[in-house]
Amino acid sequence: MITAAELATELEVSVPTARRDLEALAMSGVPIYPTRGRGGGWRLIGGARTDLTGLTEVEVTSLLIGLTQSRATDPERAAAVRKLVRAMPEPFRAGAERVAAATVRDAPWGATGDDTDPPAVAELQRAIARERRIRIAYAGSRGDVDVELVPLIVGSRGARWYLLAAPAATDEGVADRDRLRTYRVDRIRGLETLAERGVAPADFEPTAEWDRMVARVESLRGSVRARLRVEPWAVKALLDRFGAQARLQAPGPESGSDPRSTVEVSAHRADALAEQIAAWATVAEVIEPPEVRDALRALGQRIVDTYAPAES
């Protein structure tokens, strides 16, 4: 029988750590035998496996989930995640790599709202790590639905989390790429991880698929565009507020009668765009299109009517 000291020396871990692992294995009835010679070491009989760092697979996955959910996006944290995945014991590494690859933290769309991550995010990440299908009760725009899915990506834009998932297309649980859909995590009313296997298609690229989803949503959000003339001192603030829905077309001239810059902004409807621009009415003028100018005029009239002094 192997002693804790022998195991600690061989694996370069502390004696208490080795003793704890030996005791746990002995209690589970798993015997350990030495294999000497080139490439030798210690083996568990009957295909048993353990991580002699003391972390279980569930603990490893939970640790990585915590790191990937962090709001910090600095290079040091990204490097820490990569190092952690590389340091995983081989039996745990595949699930850890799936969590790291399938979690996206992205720039926000507009206001961020509540900064608390929904509990469902961690459960979805665990399902991805274990290659399991899920069943969700979802409050969609067309009503409530119950659907069984293969979860593929969990990502956020600001504080809002999204799930990219698809039904299984085969008995082996391979996701149907043609039925891939985006779900808002805060609209998931019920979530169950199933025993059935669920995996991504062989050529599935999480980063590229996420980028395609963002581009598709951006195109919907920006179907109506307006050109503004903006006072020089307000340009940066306006660009920051509109984010990806704004771009500087032409900076104002250094001299001349009109020093204002030209900025393009967009939204999904003319009235929605007018409501956003209204807050900048003192520093920005809409040049075109006419429908946005008309929507601003109608909005202004409603404000005047609402706040007109009462007749005596």
The pLDDT score that the predictor gives to residue 311 is 76
Tokens of 24: 């746990």
The pLDDT score that the predictor gives to residue 67 is 56
Q: Which residue has the tokens 């991504």?
A: 200
Tokens of 174: 């391979």
The pLDDT score that the predictor gives to residue 112 is 42
Q: What is the domain partition of the chain in residue ranges? A: 4-47, 57-218, 222-307
The pLDDT score that the predictor gives to residue 79 is 63
The residue-averaged pLDDT of 87-115 equals: 61
The pLDDT score that the predictor gives to residue 59 is 59
In angstroms, how far is the first alpha carbon of the chain from the final one?
101
Maximum distance among all alpha carbons in the chain?
Answer: 104
The pLDDT score that the predictor gives to residue 223 is 73
Check residue 131 and give left, alpha or beta (phi > 0: left; psi -120 to 50: alpha): left
The pLDDT confidence band at residue 122, using thresholds 50, 70 and 90, is confident
The pLDDT confidence band at residue 207, using thresholds 50, 70 and 90, is confident
The pLDDT score that the predictor gives to residue 111 is 43
One-character DSSP codes across the chain: ---HHHHHHHHT--HHHHHHHHHHHHHTT--EEEE-STT-EEEEGGG----TTS--HHHHHHHHHHHHH-S---HHHHHHHHHHHHHS-HHHHHHHHHHHHHEEEE---S-----PPPHHHHHHHHHHHHTEEEEEEEEETTEEEEEEEEEEEEEEETTEEEEEEE-B-STT-BB-GGG-EEEEGGGEEEEEEEEEE-B--TT--HHHHHHHHHHHHHHHHTSEEEEEEE-GGGHHHHHHHHGGGEEEEEPPPSSSS--PEEEEEEESSHHHHHHHHHTTTTTEEEEE-HHHHHHHHHHHHHHHHHHSPPP-
The pLDDT score that the predictor gives to residue 281 is 92
The residue-averaged pLDDT of 216-226 equals: 73
Pairing of strands 103-106, 143-157: parallel
The pLDDT confidence band at residue 72, using thresholds 50, 70 and 90, is very low
The pLDDT score that the predictor gives to residue 289 is 92
Please check the confidence at residue 244 and state whether its pLDDT lies above 80.
Answer: no
The CB density around residue 190, as the number of other CB atoms within 10 Å, is 12
- How far is it, in rounded angstroms, from Cα 218 to Cα 111? 15
Looking at per-residue pLDDT, the higher value among 206 and 227 belongs to 227
The per-residue pLDDT of the chain, averaged, comes to 76
The residue-averaged pLDDT of 211-228 equals: 78
Please check the confidence at residue 5 and state whether its pLDDT lies above 60.
Answer: no
The residue-averaged pLDDT of 69-75 equals: 50
Tell me which residue of 116, 117, 132 sits closest to 192, measured CA to CA: 132
Looking at the chain, the whole-number percentage of residues with pLDDT higher than 70 is 60
Lowest mean pLDDT among 29-43, 86-100, 148-162: 29-43
pLDDT tens profile 245-296: 888 988 766 556 788 999 999 888 888 899 999 999 999 999 999 999 999 9
Looking at the chain, the whole-number percentage of residues with pLDDT higher than 90 is 32
pLDDT tens profile 157-197: 766 789 999 999 988 899 999 999 999 898 999 999 999 99
Domain 222-307 has CATH 3.30.70: yes
The pLDDT confidence band at residue 1, using thresholds 50, 70 and 90, is very low
Looking at per-residue pLDDT, the higher value among 96 and 36 belongs to 96
